[in-house]
């Protein structure tokens, strides 16, 4: 009888322990799962529009370092990738729109546009942007300088952290835009912004539908923006025949795209 009582007591204790143990285990699992979910959301959020770059304009301009700093195919698996830059040896321009790489080179005095990851970049600035917010650009904003201030103002309004760089896009019609595609002469060691503009092909677009991708930063002059500017912009015409660095523009009816912050 005593033995039976002891056995029942043990059984009850064991059942209690099992119940408690299971509960503790599930509580711990739930906490760990929540932590993983939170970490996942945090990583996704912190990565959203985080701007990265490889190479620096001042190394190109002052040291004549035109070597490849990043292989484009190392970014092939990144979703929602937006980027711009110059090919190694300054033999063309790079534009990446939603993980689609668009390479523009000069071949026998005309532009050659190619969708390929098989290139290296001497300079590349890029970010993954999961979601964009589109804003109307008022009619009084027309020139690049006015646009720069407007972009900053809108980024502040949209609660972007303007202390760090951010990407933007402009879509719509460009009234007039001056573009160039670099084609640096091998062995030329004298680098000036003017020579960079004129070494390859250049031209203008007028009243044309375009998509412009740019990066804004007031802390990366000489790195991925030129000394006199807080933006670096490349463009592609809607019909896709011109992809180039955008030097100057007067815009028409356009939209500004900024990373959406939820």
β pairing state of 132-136 and 243-259: antiparallel
Report, in Å, the least distance between residue 114 CB and Zn ion: 17
Query: Looking at beta carbons only, is 220 or 245 nearer to Zn ion?
Result: 245
Query: Looking at beta carbons only, is 64 or 139 nearer to Zn ion?
Result: 64
Chain residue at closest Cβ approach to Zn ion? 245
From candidates 137, 165, 245, 258, binder to Zn ion by CB under 5 A: 245
3-state secondary structure (DSSP) of residue 62: helix
Query: Looking at beta carbons only, is 14 or 227 nearer to Zn ion?
Result: 227
Is 246 in contact with 172 (CB distance < 8 Å)? no
The DSSP call for residue 75 is G
Cα 191 to Cα 60: distance, rounded to the nearest angstrom: 8
Query: Looking at beta carbons only, is 85 or 259 nearer to Zn ion?
Result: 85
Long-range contacts at 9-15 (CB < 8 A, ≥ 24 apart) = none
Buried b / exposed e over 27-53, threshold 16 CB at 10 Å, is eeeeeeeeeeeeeeeeeeeeebbbbeb
From 14-22, 107-115, 237-245, 248-256, give the range in contact with Zn ion by CB under 5 A. 237-245
From 35-43, 196-204, 206-214, 245-253, give the range in contact with Zn ion by CB under 5 A. 245-253
CA atoms within a 13 Å half-sphere pointing along the CA-CB vector of 184:
26
- Stretch 80-119 residues interacting with Zn ion (CB under 5 A): none
Q: How many residues of this chain bind Zn ion (CB under 5 A)?
A: 1
- 211 lines the binding site for Zn ion (CB under 5 A): no
Query: Looking at beta carbons only, is 191 or 245 nearer to Zn ion?
Result: 245
Report, in Å, the least distance between residue 93 CB and Zn ion: 6
Report H helices in the chain: 2-47, 57-63, 144-157, 193-198
Query: Looking at beta carbons only, is 130 or 197 nearer to Zn ion?
Result: 197
Query: Looking at beta carbons only, is 20 or 64 nearer to Zn ion?
Result: 64
Query: For 92-242, where are the E strands, in sequence order?
Result: 93-97, 100-107, 110-114, 120-128, 132-136, 166-181, 201-216, 231-237
Report, in Å, the least distance between residue 234 CB and Zn ion: 6
From 74-82, 158-166, 171-179, 243-251, give the range in contact with Zn ion by CB under 5 A. 243-251
Report, in Å, the least distance between residue 26 CB and Zn ion: 55
Tell which residue, 171, 173, 162, 167, has the closest CA to residue 131.
167
Is 222 in contact with 92 (CB distance < 8 Å)? no
User: What residue ranges bind Zn ion (CB under 5 A)?
Assistant: 245
């Amino acid at each position: 009888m005593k033995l039976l009582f002891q056995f029942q007591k043990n059984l009850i204790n064991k059942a209690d322990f099992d119940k408690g143990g299971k509960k503790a285990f599930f509580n711990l699992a739930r906490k760990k799962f929540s932590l993983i979910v939170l970490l996942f959301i945090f990583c996704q959020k912190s990565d959203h529009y985080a701007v990265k770059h490889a190479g620096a304009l001042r190394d190109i301009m002052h040291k004549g370092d035109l070597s490849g700093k990043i292989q484009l195919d190392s970014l092939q698996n990144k979703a929602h990738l937006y980027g711009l830059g110059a090919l190694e040896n300054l033999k063309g321009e790079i534009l990446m729109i939603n993980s689609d790489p668009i390479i523009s080179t000069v071949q026998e005095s005309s532009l050659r546009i190619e969708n390929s990851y098989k290139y290296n970049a001497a300079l590349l600035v890029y970010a993954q942007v999961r979601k964009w917010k589109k804003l109307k650009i008022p009619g009084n904003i027309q020139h690049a300088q006015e646009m720069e201030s407007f972009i900053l103002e809108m980024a502040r309004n949209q609660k972007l952290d303007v202390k760090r760089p951010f990407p933007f896009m402009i879509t719509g019609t460009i009234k007039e835009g001056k573009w160039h595609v670099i084609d640096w002469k091998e062995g030329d060691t004298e680098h000036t912004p003017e020579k960079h503009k004129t070494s390859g092909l250049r031209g203008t677009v007028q009243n044309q539908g375009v998509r412009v991708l740019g990066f804004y930063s007031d802390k990366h002059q000489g790195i991925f923006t030129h000394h006199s500017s807080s933006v670096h912009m490349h463009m592609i015409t809607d019909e896709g025949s011109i992809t180039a660095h955008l030097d100057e523009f007067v815009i028409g009816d356009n939209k500004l795209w900024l990373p959406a912050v939820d």
